[in-house]
Structure 1
Amino acid sequence: MTDLLTNSRQGELGDFLRSRRDKLTPKAVGLPDGRRRRTPGLRREEVAELAGIGVDWYIRLEQGRSVSPSTATIDALARALRLSRAEHRHLKELTANTDRRAFVRETVPPAVRRTVERLNLPAYITGRRWDVLAWNEAADEIFGFSQIADADRNSLVTVLTKPASRRLFGTSWNDVARRMVAQFRATHDLWAGDPAFRDLLARLRDGCPEFAGWWEAHDISGVAAGHKSISHPKKGRLKLEYVSFQANDDPALKLVIYTPV
């Protein structure tokens, strides 16, 4: 399993680099356009030149072959590809030599669960795969977690594949869903090849027509505070601000809290 996860992560690294290269133009990085290009974006040799590394070595990296870039090389690639802070961090994580075992769904410690349940504000806890693991009554009144089958109680499954979620978010659904996919991609790439993550991707592809295009774009976004506007069937229009925190008991657990605006 370890070798499978490592090889899959290297494959995601290559796809991520290609996706960033394809989005850049010579003009954007100060290079002449030159002759007509068969494909959009920069050529591999142009990225290698901008980063100050060997072309053959960069090709190996894009092909997902086993290489161990230094911190200086990673930083140089990030500058050459004009990566955002979140993308730069993702590149570092993808190239880190980290062994991973098969994914096991997290368990919320009793004290953490009780704390969430006692909060007056809507709050819930998710795991690495974005499974919803615990919530309080205020969150249940808005999102109806207790009415969802355990196998479906996943933030991505709920928002991307359930018609009720499209109605809940209305015209903002597309932006909300696409942002969630970009945030989740950062975690998925580190667990690529794991059966639990493969199963989740299959569900999202089957249940959301837009998902395949978003996934192919390989956009990466960091998790940050934000706002959501929803049309609740019983509570009417709700404007909410949300923040998230990692649990010290288990950094894989993320606590999300909503505040009315």
Structure 2
Amino acid sequence: MNIHQNEAVLAARRREFGAFLRSRREKLTPAGVGLPGGFRRRTPGLRREEVALLAGVGATWYTWLEQGRDVRASAEVLSALADALRLDAAERRHLFALSDRPPTETISQGPEQVPESLRRMLSSLSGQPAYILGRRWDVLAWNSAAVALFGDYGLLQGDARNTIHRVFTDPTHRQLLVDWESVAVTSLAMFRADSARYAGDPDFERLVTTLMRDSPEFRAWWPRQEVQRPLAGHKRLCHPHGGLMTFEYTALAVIDRTDMKLVVYTPLEDDGTDEKLKELLRLNEKA
């Protein structure tokens, strides 16, 4: 793309950005944002000056944004505009995308709820052990195949149901992982990357403190500050009833649930894993 084509693309994006701002401004009413109605309005929605006031920016500068002029808004200003225009999560992401900036993510707090649609999908994965991880890597929901492979999560409480806690402190789970050390090192690096957004969060801090106390490996490796993005790959397990089994491991982000992941273990032909899993499922149904 040459410089003239690039300028044309940027100009088109600015026009789209301005049109999007204008469309959302026109959907609002003064009463809906806590402003007095004033005199009769010739056009629907808020005035540009009112949006600028709500966002804490200059009215002229905001007008330039709507006009598609060559001005750049910082991430902080984009967030202020999104709040002023009462944008939902999808609209906020769209606003940042049009401005060619990564969106500022809202940190989730409080209890985590797994949608019923996701629970139904988990149940339908009858031949693939799968579970939902929350923001702190707590297992929030699981299917029967996951119970057959990893044990009944329903019998675990508190930190015992946390994946990183289980890797480092549960002897039974440790024996299940054939390549425990490499799995633990990789898991720790991915957990650190995920937890960065929650630095200082009391729940995360307490979990780390507990692991520092209870696991010598965690205590030795956590200060290394290693981080890693989520990976897909193979995991070898040595199940007490099924023996050696090999799975393809995949972690998928859940749309509209930024801090949730769907983790799926797909049985491979290696080591007769598929047939061994079927036998475990039959045994689990009889228990």
TM range (shorter): 0.5 to 0.7
Q: Which of the residues 90, 93, 103 maps onto 2:109?
A: 103
Is 1:199 matched up with 2:206? Answer: yes
Larger CA Rg, structure 1 vs 2: 2
Is 1:118 matched up with 2:130? Answer: no
- Calculate percent identity across the aligned residue pairs: 41
Amino acid at match of 1:123: A
Alignment of 1:126-145 (within 5 A): 126-145=133-152
RMSD between aligned alpha carbons?
Answer: 2.2
Amino acid at match of 1:153: R
Kindly state the Cα deviation for residue 158 of structure 1 after the two structures are TM-superposed.
1.0
1:251 is paired with a residue whose SS is strand
Could you tell me which runs of 5 or more consecutive residues in structure 1 were left unpaired when the two chains were aligned. 1-69, 72-95
2:177 is paired with a residue whose SS is helix
CA contact (8 A) 2:213 2:219 kept: no
Normalising by structure 1, we get a TM-score of 0.59
Cα separation, 2, equivalents of 1:189 and 1:226:
23
Q: Deviations over 1:53-90 (max 9, x none)?
A: xxxxxxxxxxxxxxxxx99xxxxxxxxxxxxxxxxxxx
Name the counterpart of 1:167: 175
Q: Deviations over 1:106-136 (max 9, x none)?
A: 2101111111112121111001100000110
Q: Which of the residues 238, 241, 249 maps onto 2:248?
A: 241
Kindly state the Cα deviation for residue 103 of structure 1 after the two structures are TM-superposed.
3.4
CA contact (8 A) 2:188 2:222 kept: yes
Cα separation, 2, equivalents of 1:246 and 1:98:
17
Could you tell me which runs of 5 or more consecutive residues in structure 2 were left unpaired when the two chains were aligned. 1-73, 76-101, 269-287
Amino acid at match of 2:114: V
Normalising by structure 2, we get a TM-score of 0.54
Cα separation, 1, equivalents of 2:115 and 2:194:
22
Kindly state the Cα deviation for residue 98 of structure 1 after the two structures are TM-superposed.
5.4
Q: Deviations over 1:145-188 (max 9, x none)?
A: 33542211111111111111221114x11110111000010121
Name the counterpart of 1:253: 260
CA contact (8 A) 1:109 1:249 kept: no
After TM superposition, what 4+ stretches of structure 1 lie above 6 angstroms from structure 2? none
Higher relative contact order (CA 8 A, sep 6+): 1
Q: How many residues align?
A: 167
1:188 is paired with a residue whose SS is helix
